[in-house]
Amino acid sequence: MKKGLKIVTIGGGSSYTPELMEGLINRYHELPVREIWLVDIHDGEEKLKIVGALAKRMWAATQYPVEVHLTLDRRVALKDADFVTTQFRVGLLEARIKDERIPLSHGMLGQETNGAGGIFKAFRTIPVMKQIIEDMQDLCPNAWLINFTNPSGIITETVIKQFGWEKCIGLCNVPEISMIKEPAKIGCKREDLQYRFAGLNHFHWHKVFDKDGHDVTGSLLEHINDKDGGTPKNIYQADFPVDLLQTMNLLPCGYHRYYFLKKEMLQHSIDEFRAGETRAEQVKSVENALFDLYRDTKLHEKPKELEKRGGAYYSDVACECINAIYNNKRQPMVVSTVNCGSISCLPADAIVEVTSLISAKGAEPLAWGEMKSHERGWLQMMKAMEECTIEAAIKGDYGVAYEAFNLNPLVENGAVAEKVLNELLVAHEKYLPQFANIIANIKAKGVYPQDKTVQDLLAKGK
């Protein structure tokens, strides 16, 4: 780290990269970056070139002496890295289309990080993450891994607990959005309020206190169904049941809608599905438009349009985290890290998403204490589901994958669960080497995805 930092971004061709560059540029005065390596795979080469060129223009406009490298060779990039950020999507948006459409074609919620789709995103990502960690052990054994590849909590648990890479912090933009949007609702500024988050990634709650230590969670709950309310753009904003939330006296995250308003969320997704407009399909259009902007060689900064993506603030959170580590700030942030008892009803070595102090030694979670019955039941069940997902992903075990499905509240239990499991395995075959034999057996029985859009993707070899 002596002469300046080397930062490596796996999945560097992502449309979010300009936000990451902006974040680093804004912090350059205290975060002396020297080299940025944007890494991507062959299928992402074109996007890497476009966004990489914009990244270079952005830095050039600053006069800061930072080199931006673009490469398809991960090992070259990782050599002596100080920080590695991961924001890749195995199978690109086409895989997300399958994660959404296959469950929906059987009447279940299809979603990128929740339900059957989220489980399969983990199945595809974990084998790749394993290779990345092996490379890091070899090439940059002291580097920090800042993960924001989804499902962020599950991936972080796999990296730390299964692969043994302790210098890993998982990030998400959802808490950040809440802390940006909510204060104004009760006439406060962010610095006037004290936030405490606890739970799992995409399944956490928070409490808020004012300057005098009074709990203002109830006041914020009165605004929970206001529009523009702190929920990421990608989530349909059905109305939360206020009686329930007031009894809990906790603010939910936007993703709780899938669980607490399952019926409405499913109906909305089915409507989109029938219109050929699931979220992935919408995002594809947004991305195409973004890359059209990025191609403009006169563009030297992050375009405003990027904020419309669900992942806004993601990269900003990542830069803030890198900064807090590098400068030993002991700054409160909401991250996925080792529980250490902070949520006492979950295993001490589980990964949880909690308010933590971020410093040079990593994340120190603040202890939350005991959850009440209702929240405890949900968290314990969701964590068990995550554990099954990870075990199935590593072992390529069909029965354990079924267990993950069986526990997941967004999967309908019954014969249809197995159908969806089988179709997803077949549809994602290319990215699931650990399930190769199982998929061969399923295909031998003639199982094939029934959704036409998915069939078309498969026909094109995507």
Point out the annotated binding site for substrate.
Answer: 96, 150
Residue carrying structure tokens 């205290």: 30
Secondary structure E strands in 176-277: 194-200, 203-209, 251-252
x-or-dash string of contact with a copy of itself, 231-270, rule CB under 8 A = -------xx-x-xx-xxx----------xxxxxxx-----
Q: Which of residues 177-216 bind a copy of itself (CB under 8 A)?
A: 194, 196, 209-215
Task: Establish if 414 lies at the interface with a copy of itself (CB under 8 A).
Answer: yes
> Binding site residues for Mn(2+), as ranges?
172, 202
Task: Establish if 218 lies at the interface with a copy of itself (CB under 8 A).
Answer: no
Enumerate long-range contacts of 365-371, CB under 8 Å, 24 or more apart: 365/337, 365/338, 365/339, 365/340, 366/196, 366/332, 366/342, 367/341, 367/342, 368/196, 368/198, 368/342, 368/343, 368/344, 369/344, 370/344, 370/345, 371/198, 371/343, 371/344, 371/345
- Dihedral sign computed on CA atoms, order 380, 387, 85, 296: negative
User: How many amino acids of this chain bind a copy of itself (CB under 8 A)?
Assistant: 80
Residues 6+ apart with CB under 8 A from 218: 246, 249
For a copy of itself, the closer CB: 381 or 436? 381
Q: Which of residues 4-33 bind a copy of itself (CB under 8 A)?
A: none
Q: Which of residues 350-379 bind a copy of itself (CB under 8 A)?
A: 357, 359-362, 364-370, 373-374, 376-378
Tell me the C-alpha distance between 259 and 111, whole Å: 12
Q: Which of residues 283-342 bind a copy of itself (CB under 8 A)?
A: 325, 328, 330, 332, 338-342
With 0-12 CB in 10 A as exposed, 13-18 as middle and 19+ as buried, what is 126? Answer: buried
For a copy of itself, the closer CB: 96 or 206? 206
x-or-dash string of contact with a copy of itself, 62-101, rule CB under 8 A = ----------------------------------------
Task: Establish if 400 lies at the interface with a copy of itself (CB under 8 A).
Answer: yes
Tell me the C-alpha distance between 391 and 437, whole Å: 17
For a copy of itself, the closer CB: 180 or 357? 357
CB of 343 to a copy of itself, least distance (A): 7
Q: Which of 131, 137, 344, 437 binds a copy of itself (CB under 8 A)?
A: 344
Q: Which of 413, 437, 450, 455 binds a copy of itself (CB under 8 A)?
A: 413
Q: Which of 45, 287, 301, 418 binds a copy of itself (CB under 8 A)?
A: 418
CB of 7 to a copy of itself, least distance (A): 17
Task: Establish if 398 lies at the interface with a copy of itself (CB under 8 A).
Answer: yes
CB 352 within 8 A of CB 339: yes
Tell me the C-alpha distance between 198 and 344, whole Å: 11
Task: Check if 255 is active-site.
Answer: yes
195 strand-pairing partners? 208
For a copy of itself, the closer CB: 77 or 265? 265
For a copy of itself, the closer CB: 55 or 346? 346
Phi and psi at residue 357, to the nearest 5°: -90, 130
Q: Of 195, 255, 258, 294, which residue is the catalytic one?
A: 255
Tell me the C-alpha distance between 168 and 137, whole Å: 13
Tell me the C-alpha distance between 293 and 54, whole Å: 10
Indicate which residues carry an active-site annotation. 255
